[in-house]
Amino acid sequence: MPLQFHRAVENMEIWSARSGGYSFVISLQSPTGHGFRGRFGYVASWRPLDQSRGSIRVLGSPLQSFAEAKDACNSMLNYLRD
């Protein structure tokens, strides 16, 4: 089953999803404006839910669209499950 993302922070472009013991987050960053600063695009990251450690950026981030970021997260989840 694909990850089901929901808006995690009101008034910011941050979405999260959980599945199979992993947490995934997608955030929009831009060089200007509100939110996270950096090269424009959608940054996807993941981390195990049972460990208290930082997240790991999904390869290819930042991505050009939210759909690409979701696909990257689903691909990473499939890789982690295997």
What's the pLDDT tens digit per position in 62-75?
999 999 999 999 99
pLDDT at 1: 78
CA angle 14, 36, 2 (to 5 degrees): 30
Quote the CA–CA distance of 9 and 80 in Å, as a whole number: 26
Model confidence over 41-60: pLDDT tens digits? 999 999 999 888 889 999 88
In the chain, where are the structural domains located? 6-80
